[in-house]
């Protein structure tokens, strides 16, 4: 039943799938009235824009290999099933921040969704020094809500375990385990380096006991802590936005993992964007620092508010005594401290891997002056080494540390 | 296809199941030659001894309710599937410490296994002050091997995730979540108290901020940390032994959870046995303290040896540099410190729940002098409160603390 679509086959497919056809065309309109174009800048999948007379939509299809490499790198198309299921779960929790899904087919490994044509990818926008006054408010809500409402703190014990089972995402977790937590810390052929990067800096963290131990710990957390349904790949390329709206896309890496992973990956991408700025870009530097601070602080306070509100609604017997709510709040504070330290650990791993691993960030890797880029990369690697081997109390200390290493 | 067996139906079932019949009888022998008796001291299941002419065997069948309560407490018989699968996994890893499985049927929710007729339950043996010179050696191997060889440190990333999925054990985990981590810490109707127990001691820990916070943390760890395939109920009633051999039975609570849980539950049962001893039983007191120390120390050194040996065999690239093995060993030490602190936390939870929760330990609850029993229970509760709210470096400090509270 599955077949790989192309521009022509998409016409046939749309014509024979009323759920899609009716979105695009009136019942009397010919299928010739739709326009299909592939935008395919994705690493994994094929993405098409289909313009009809009534609206335009996105059709995203997974193929049984890694799109950016080709058929020699097989990757099961079941990843689309995880993407579809994660989109549905996230949409239910955060309707404002997840694109509308019009149709999905597990058999065809495709999803048809809202075309975000007045929105752009956050990473590119940050490279263009665009400012989004609502972004931190939105993304902190997305994080606090998706991560709370899929956790053991909200779901029934049985439902959460069913969801853990449903989201066992073997292949895509393995990609993360390899490319975020393993290859960058060893002399692996998949790594790629700026030729101007001082390799002694790389050797320094690769042979540093405390860095290696801390990375191994974060890797193990990623593999074993089933806390909440993560997006799993929440970098600034997975966010589309304009001044008013923010959408989180591409959750094919979704699985039950440690809450700090989503938070840390996102923060790391802000931090690397910060390191990429020139010394005289004062306004944008202030803005990115503020984003880092606001994202964490708003996430923490919203997650806490979710916990407290839920406890007030359910009034569990275990906290039902005069100081019970106060004690519960103390537990929440300690739990959030744990998410904070996990987030910083995962943040550091993302900083390492985006600098010496296979996948780079355009904010830094797009810098044409390779010597300047190398200097920034050195700062990022040394900062990541410091962050992952130290203890911090709050986000202000992290920001101070980043400024320290922004030499 | 499923039906509940009884003494008569077992004859028919054995007669029509060649895999079982052939274990017991020659092909010409009449089925009348077998003797069936129910030993049923289990809380959950029906257990029969079947004596044939060739050997005697155990047949254990799950019924769709909680055996010790009756049909009004439904409990899915799928628990037998978990028991069978866990027995098979454990047997492969630790053939010496797991009874032989002759036959199993998921449809009939039953398992047929070795009759351990020259072995007795450890709890009863400790109540009789019996000494087992090989027990700590055996049980520490069982713990170190089952917990290492089912973890992310040994299994492939894919295999481990498949196993997590296979062992999602919703109903029996819920029993633990409720009866170990929730009800004992609140005024719940399922709790049972020695009428002589000073209830102000109970109130003290139930309304103590640091105890409650620590218990909530352990509960969350139990629910979210999928580290290794646990036995899940490793108290001294789940061990059958004689002076030479040790067998671990009844793993129906098996699931992927935190490594420290199995270790902590077992240690807690030793600790409670210790508290139940009279002041002048010096020799047995020394012996139980030694068991506590040996179990932890041997477990830790065997688990570490498993880690190091595996790393030497696989020679992963990430630790492949001059100080790599030394750094890996440092990681292992830190990881085992984490298991230690988890184990003490879980140990304390087991001490609380076995004192004020529904299920008691005969070592303490069997003491006929209720005043003496209440004194011991007070010591156990106060010791558990101290243990779960403090930091310890090693097992000697734990033993010292226990002696401190053994007033």
Q: How confident is the model over A132-141, as pLDDT tens digits?
A: 999 999 999 9
- Go through chain A and tell me how many residues it has: 407
Least reliable range by pLDDT among A197-206, B69-78, B252-261: B69-78
Does residue B306 surpass a pLDDT of 80? yes
Tokens encoding B192: 């049972």
Of A173, A224, A318, the CB nearest to B186: A318
Taking the C-alpha atoms of residue B163 and residue B297, their distance in angstroms, rounded to an integer, is: 28
Residue A232 predicted with pLDDT over 90: yes
Whether A327 has its CB under 8 Å from any CB of chain B: the answer is yes
C-alpha A193: how far from chain center: 23
Query: Which A-chain residues 102-161 have CB contacts (< 8 A) with chain B?
Result: 152, 157-158, 160-161
Q: Which residues contact A68 (CB under 8 A, 6 or more apart)?
A: A42, A43, A44
Flag whether pLDDT at B255 surpasses 80.
yes
Whole-model pTM? Answer: 0.97
For residue A67, name the pLDDT band (cuts at 50, 70, 90): confident
What is the C-alpha to C-alpha distance for residues B108 and A212, in angstroms, rounded to an integer?
Answer: 50
Whether A225 sits inside 8 A of B224 (CB atoms) is yes
Domains A7-114 and A120-405 share a fold: no
Contact between chains at B331 and A177 (C-beta distance less than 8 A): no
As for the ipTM of the complex, it is 0.96
Residues in chain B: 407
Distance from C-alpha of A215 to C-alpha of A222, rounded to nearest angstrom: 10
Q: What is the pLDDT of residues A153-196, one digit of tens each?
A: 999 999 999 999 999 999 999 999 999 999 999 999 999 999 99
Taking contacts as CB-CB distances below 8 angstroms, the residues of chain A near B331 are: 212-213, 216-217
- Please check the confidence at residue A41 and state whether its pLDDT lies above 90: no
The DSSP H or E segment spanning A45 is: strand A45-51
Segment A203-213, tens digit of pLDDT: 999 999 999 99
Q: Flag whether pLDDT at A126 surpasses 90.
A: yes
A152, A328, A334: residue with CB nearest B224: A152
Q: Is B16 exposed, middle or buried (0-12, 13-18, 19+ CB in 10 A)?
A: exposed
Alpha-carbon gap, residue A4 to A6, rounded angstroms: 7
Cα B407 to Cα B394: distance, rounded to the nearest angstrom: 22
Report the pLDDT averaged over residues A17-21.
97
CA distance A405 to A384: 9
Q: What is the pLDDT of residue A288?
A: 98
From the CA of B201, how many Å to the nearest CA of chain A? 16
Cβ partners under 8 Å of residue B175, min gap 6: B253
Question: What is the percent of chain B where pLDDT is above 70?
Answer: 100
Output the six-digit token pair for B252: 């129906």
Is the pLDDT assigned to residue B69 strictly greater than 90? no
Contact criterion met (CB < 8 Å) for A173 and B161: yes
| Closest chain A residue to the Cα of B172, Cα to Cα | A158
pLDDT at A66: 81
Nearest to B317 among A174, A187, A316 (CB): A187
Alpha-carbon gap: B62 to the closest alpha carbon of chain A (Å) = 21
Q: Cβ separation of B207 and A321 shorter than 8 Å?
A: yes
Cβ distance of B170 and A158 shorter than 8 Å? yes
CB contact under 8 A, B212 and A161: no
Contact A61, A40 (CB under 8 A): no
Distance of CA A191 to the CA centre of its chain: 21
∠ CA B295-B301-B304 to the nearest 5 degrees?
A: 130
Q: Strand runs (DSSP E) across A191-238, as ranges? A: 228-230
DSSP-derived letter for residue A246 is E
Q: Edge to edge, what strands does the sheet with B110-114 contain?
A: B35-38, B45-51, B56-62, B110-114, B101-105
How does DSSP assign A289-336, residue by residue?
HHHHHHHHHHHHHHHHHHHHHHHHHH--GGG-STTHHHHHHHHHHHHH
Residue B70 has φ and ψ, to the nearest 5°, of 125, -175
**Which chain B residue has its CA at the smallest distance from A182's CA?**
B318
- Classify domain B120-405 at the CATH class level: alpha beta
pLDDT(A291) > 80 = yes
From first CA to last CA, the distance across chain B in angstroms is: 57
CA nearest A58: which of A38, A88, A86? A38
Measured from the Cβ of residue B166, the count of other Cβ atoms closer than 10 Å reads: 17
Task: Identify all chain A residues contacting B164, using CB atoms and an 8 Å cutoff.
Answer: 164, 168, 226
Residues B63 and B40: beta-carbon distance below 8 Å: no
Q: d(Cα A257, Cα A150) in Å, to the nearest integer?
A: 11
Q: Read off the pLDDT of each residue in A253-272 and give the average, rounded to a whole number.
A: 98
Whose CA is closest to A301, among A264, A270, A329, A324?
A: A329
Residue ranges per structural domain of chain B: 7-114, 120-405
Nearest residue of A to residue B155, measured between CA atoms: A223
* Candidate CATH numbers 3.40.50.1820, 3.40.220.10, 3.30.200.20, 3.20.10.10; the one for domain A7-114: 3.30.200.20
Confidence bin at B165 (pLDDT 50/70/90): very high
Residue A40 has pLDDT above 90, yes or no: no
As a three-state string, the secondary structure of chain B is CCCCCCHHHHHHHHHCCHHHHHHHCCCCCCHHHCEEEECCCCCCEEEEEEECCCCEEEEEEECCEECCCEEEEECCCCHHHHHHHHHHHHHHHCHHHCCCEEEEECCCCEEEEECCCCCEEHHHHHHCCCCCCCHHHHHHHHHHHHHHHCCCCCCCHHHHHHHHHHCCCHHHHHHHHHHCCCHHHCCCCCCCCCCCCCHHHHHHHHCCHHHHHHHHHHHHHHHHECCEEECCCCCHHHEEECCCCEEECCCCCCEEECHHHHHHHHHHHHHHHHHCCCCCCHHHHHHHHHHHHHHHHHHHHHHHHHHHHHHHHHCCHHHCCCCHHHHHHHHHHHHHHHHHHHHHHHHHHHHHHHHHCCCCCHHHHCCCCHHHHHHHHHHHHHHHHHHHCCCCCCHHHHHHHHHHHCC
Mean pLDDT of B216-221: 98
The vertex-B257 CA angle with B251 and B262, nearest 5°, equals 55
Q: Is A243 exposed, middle or buried (0-12, 13-18, 19+ CB in 10 A)?
A: exposed
Nearest-Cα distance to chain A for B196, in Å, is 24
Nearest CA-CA partner of B90 in B126, B139, B128: B139
CA distance B31 to B18: 12
What value does the mean pLDDT of chain A take? Answer: 96
Per-residue pLDDT band for A53 (boundaries 50, 70, 90) equals very high
Quote the percentage of chain A above a pLDDT of 70: 100
Q: Which residues pair with A364 in a beta bridge?
A: none
Backbone phi and psi for residue B11, each to the nearest 5 degrees, phi listed first: -60, -50
Given a contact cutoff of 8 angstroms between Cβ atoms, the answer to whether B198 and B378 are in contact is yes
Under 8 Å CB pairs connecting chains A and B tally to 120
Q: Nearest 5°: phi and psi at B286?
A: -60, -45
Burial grade of A281 (CB within 10 A; 0-12, 13-18, 19 or more): middle
pLDDT in tens, B275-299: 999 999 999 999 999 999 999 999 9
pLDDT of residue B47: 94
B49 contacts: CB under 8 Å, gap ≥ 6: B36, B37, B39, B56, B57, B58, B115, B117
In the structure, what pLDDT confidence band is assigned to residue A340 with cuts at 50, 70 and 90? very high
* CA angle (A90 as vertex; A79, A316 as ends), nearest 5: 125
The DSSP-derived string for A343-389 is HHHHHHHHHHHHHHSS---HHHHT-S-HHHHHHHHHHHHHHHHHHHH
């Amino acid at each position: 039943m599955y077949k790989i679509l192309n521009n022509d086959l998409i016409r046939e497919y749309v014509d024979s799938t009323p759920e899609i056809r009716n979105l695009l065309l009136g019942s009397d309109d010919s299928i010739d009235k739709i326009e299909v174009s592939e935008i395919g800048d994705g690493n994994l999948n094929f993405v098409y824009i289909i313009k009809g007379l009534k609206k335009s939509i996105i059709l995203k299809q997974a193929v049984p290999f890694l799109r950016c490499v080709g058929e020699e790198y097989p990757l099961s198309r079941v990843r689309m099933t995880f993407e579809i299921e994660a989109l549905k779960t996230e949409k239910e929790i955060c309707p404002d921040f997840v694109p509308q899904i019009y149709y999905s087919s597990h058999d065809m490994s495709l999803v048809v969704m809202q075309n975000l044509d007045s929105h752009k990818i956050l990473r590119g926008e940050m490279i263009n020094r665009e400012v989004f006054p609502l972004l931190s408010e939105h993304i902190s809500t997305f994080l606090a809500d998706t991560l709370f409402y899929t956790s053991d703190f909200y779901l029934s014990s049985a439902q959460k375990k069913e969801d853990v089972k449903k989201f066992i995402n073997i292949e895509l977790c393995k990609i993360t385990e390899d490319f975020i937590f393993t290859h960058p810390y060893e002399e692996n052929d998949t790594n790629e380096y700026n030729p101007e990067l001082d390799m002694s800096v790389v050797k320094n963290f690769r042979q540093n006991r405390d860095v290696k131990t801390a990375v191994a710990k974060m890797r193990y957390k990623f593999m074993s802590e089933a806390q909440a349904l993560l997006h799993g790949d929440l970098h600034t390329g997975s966010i589309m936005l304009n001044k008013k709206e923010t959408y989180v896309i591409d959750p094919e890496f979704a699985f039950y993992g440690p809450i700090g992973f989503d938070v840390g990956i996102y923060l790391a991408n802000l931090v690397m964007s910060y390191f990429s700025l020139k010394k005289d870009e004062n306004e944008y530097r202030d803005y990115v620092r503020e984003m880092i601070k606001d994202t964490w602080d708003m996430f923490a306070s919203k997650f806490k508010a979710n916990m407290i509100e839920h406890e007030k609604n359910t009034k569990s017997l275990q906290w039902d005594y005069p100081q019970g709510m106060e004690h519960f709040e103390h537990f929440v504070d300690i739990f959030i401290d744990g998410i904070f330290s996990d987030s910083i650990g995962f943040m550091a791993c993302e900083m390492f891997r985006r600098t010496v691993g296979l996948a780079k960030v355009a904010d830094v890797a797009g810098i044409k002056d390779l010597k300047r880029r190398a200097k920034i990369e050195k700062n990022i690697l040394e900062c990541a080494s410091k962050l992952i081997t130290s203890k911090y109390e709050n986000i202000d200390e992290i920001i101070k540390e980043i400024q320290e290493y922004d030499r």
